[in-house]
Structures are given as C-alpha cells and as structure tokens.
Structure 1
Amino acid sequence: MTTLRTDSPAVRARSGRRPLPPIVFLLVLGLIAGGVWWNVFRQDAARQAEQDAACAEAEAAPQALDPATVSVRVFNASDQGGLAQSVADDLGARGFTIAEVANDNSGREVTGVGEVRHGVGGKSTAAFLALYLPGATLWQDVRSTQQVDLVLGPEFVIGESLAPDDVVNAALDDAEQASADC
C-alpha cells in the first residue's frame, strides 16, 4: 500500500491557555477608565452649577443708582422720637431725595433695624437703598411707583445703623465685578 505523504507540518496541539485573564484585565481597565471619566464629568457639572449660582446671585445684586434719582419716604416705627428726621437729614446729605418724614402709621409691625417697602417698579431702587441699612428687610406692596419707604425699626441706632458710603460703594463694586465675571 501506498502512504500519502504531505509536506505540511503536523497540527500543533492547543496550548492550555485560556483567553479569559486578558479579557478580565481589559474589562477592569475599561471600568477604571469609565470611573475616571464619570468623576471628571461630575466635577464639571458641579463647577458649572456653582458658576450658575454665582451668576444668578450677581444678577440679583443691586445696581448702582444716582441717589438723587431715588425718592425716599422715611418713617419711624420705633419709640425713639426724631429718629426719622435724623435719618432723613443723613440720607439727604448723601444725595437722596426725601419726599416725606413721619411716623409709620401703616399698622405693619417692623422688627430689627428697619424695612424697605417698595412696589414692583421700585424693586431695584429698594435693593439699592437697602445697602445703606444693613439688616433691613425688603417688603413689596402694591404701589406702582418707584418711590420707596424706609421704615426704621426698634433696633435702629443713630450713628451706627446706616452704612458709610465707602461700605456701600465697596458692595456695589463687588456686585459689578461678580456680574462682569459671568
């Protein structure tokens, strides 16, 4: 009988290696890379949220106004006599237009150093005036004018409660800088 002879080499026996360890290694490496990217995206989202919050706060900050364009009625809601006139004189010296000085007869209870009352049209004017009375609360009523009322409360102290012009200007500069950064 004749035997067939081929010139091809004999089939190599399969080695005992399995492809599983390299596949597991690649999967673990992929998970680590995915975790790093996830962390980067989360940090970017947090940074963007902080930036958006800062910009929203900057937009809500009071705008610098010429005090001569601000018409203020000063009311005394405390037991200290002459308080409204004293504050009106101080604000007038700073350039504000004083429309009226009287005791508060609105019946609304005022606590703290005071309250700045305003209508929808006077919101920015009230925010500007509130810079001069730190701790004052803003209260919106139904008036349609830009006139604001400064109602002095029982905790108001003559010579201490009104902010100096340099403090107000610094607050306005900070607000302007924050707005420019957005």
Structure 2
Amino acid sequence: MGGKYRITGNAYPRMRRPRRRRRIVFAVVAAVVALGLAGWGTVQLIDAFTGGDETTATAAKKARECEPVPVVSAAPPPPPREITVNVFNATPRSGLAKAAADELKKRGFTIGEIGNATEEYDKKVPGTAVLLGGATAHDGPFRVLGTQLTGTQLKTDTREGAEVDLIIGTAFTALSPKAQADTALAALSKPAPAPSGC
C-alpha cells in the first residue's frame, strides 16, 4: 500500500480489540459479593422483625421462665446454741475430739459427749467426718454443722431430737476457718434465688 496508508516501522497495527478478562472477572466477583450481602441483610431483617424462629408469645413465655424464682425455705435453720454436738474421734491421733469440741463451743454450739468413736466407726471413717443424727437432722442440725467443716458424710439413725454426733475421720485436719464458716452460716438464713436454667 502506498500513500497515507503506508506502513512504516517494524510494528504492525493490532487487528483486534485487547482482551478484557480482568474486568469481566472483577465484575462477576463484585456481583456475587453484592448478592450475598443483600441476601444476608434480608435474613437479618426478617429475624429482627419476626424474632427468629420464635413467635412473640413464645419469646414472652421464655422470658417469664428465665426470671429467678425466690427460694422460700420451710423454716429457718436453728441457731448453733440449740444444737447439741457429741464429738467422737475415729482416728489413731489423740486429742482431735477435744480440740474440735472446744472450737465448736467457741462458735456457739452446745457440746455433749467427747471421746473415742464406737467400734462401728473406730478407724473406719476415711473421709473428713461423719455427721450422725435422727431422721429430722437433715432439716437443720446437719445443715448448720455442715457449715463448720467440709467433706462430711451424712447418716441417720433411730434417735429422736436435734442431738448430732460428729465422728472425726482420718482426713480431718481442722474445722473450716471461722470467717468462712460464718459466711456459710449466714447464707443459710438468706437463701439465694434458684438458678433459672436459661
């Protein structure tokens, strides 16, 4: 060719448009992201206005069920002075019963007998202690005396009245610290609301 259409130089003109794959891929990705966000937003709005899977009545009922229910005990626990404690040592270590009885007396308990455990329990209490009392001891004396030491085992017999035996076991070292015992004792008179389970 000649004239104004004459080709000069080493480069030839492009006869087709350049490919635009990057723009197409970017446009597709942007559209997918936009659709995903729009769908997620729609679901959130639907849940916000309908309460998710719950109806309004169901949600209100659940809210009522989750309110703490106050615990009302049948009767307040007896004060320590009204509980007579017999202290028996079921371990080979001497002097434990006397020491424990003296400390319980300082804390306001009435002390009965002090001595070694009977053959039924002597050297046969592997834990901290056994609290032995009548059938009604669970309602008061066991709860009150249980604030003074941890890890006790509760047993009942045929006796009547509020007298309780504290049989010291081999794991016993000392009563709970007085401040800790006083806090636990005070909590018996002011029961906390029952857990709601929500």
TM-score bracket relative to the smaller structure: 0.5 to 0.7
What's the counterpart of residue 42 of structure 1?
A: 62
Which string of whole-angstrom CA distances, capped at 9 and with x for unpartnered residues, describes residues 10-31 of structure 1? Answer: xxxxxxxxxxxxxxxxxx99xx
The 2-side partners of 1:153 and 1:62 are apart by: 29
1:107-146 correspondence to structure 2 within 5 Å: 107-108=120-121, 109-123=124-138, 124-146=140-162
The 1-side partners of 2:185 and 2:89 are apart by: 27
CA distance 1:73–1:175, change in 2 (3 Å): closer
CA distance 1:122–1:178, change in 2 (3 Å): closer
The 2-side partners of 1:76 and 1:112 are apart by: 12
The 1-side partners of 2:118 and 2:185 are apart by: 32
1:170 to 171, 176, 183: 183
Pairwise CA RMSD of aligned residues? 3.1
For these two proteins, the number of residue pairs brought into alignment is 143
TM-score by length of 2: 0.60
Structure 1: runs of 5 or more not aligned: 1-27
The 2-side partners of 1:131 and 1:74 are apart by: 16
What's the counterpart of residue 11 of structure 1?
A: none
TM-score by length of 1: 0.64
Structure 2: runs of 5 or more not aligned: 1-45
CA distance 1:121–1:64, change in 2 (3 Å): closer
The 2-side partners of 1:148 and 1:110 are apart by: 17
Equivalent position amino acid for 1:94 in 2: R
1:18-37 correspondence to structure 2 within 5 Å: 32=50, 35-37=54-56
CA distance 1:155–1:61, change in 2 (3 Å): farther
State the Cα distance separating 1:42 from its structure 2 match.
Answer: 2.6
Q: Answer 1 or 2: which has greater helix percent.
A: 1
Whichever of the two has the greater Rg, that structure is 2
The 1-side partners of 2:146 and 2:81 are apart by: 16
Which string of whole-angstrom CA distances, capped at 9 and with x for unpartnered residues, describes residues 60-119 of structure 1? Answer: 897250x33221110111221221122112222333222111211151442311111110
Q: Percent of pairs identical after alignment?
A: 28
Equivalent position amino acid for 2:77 in 1: Q
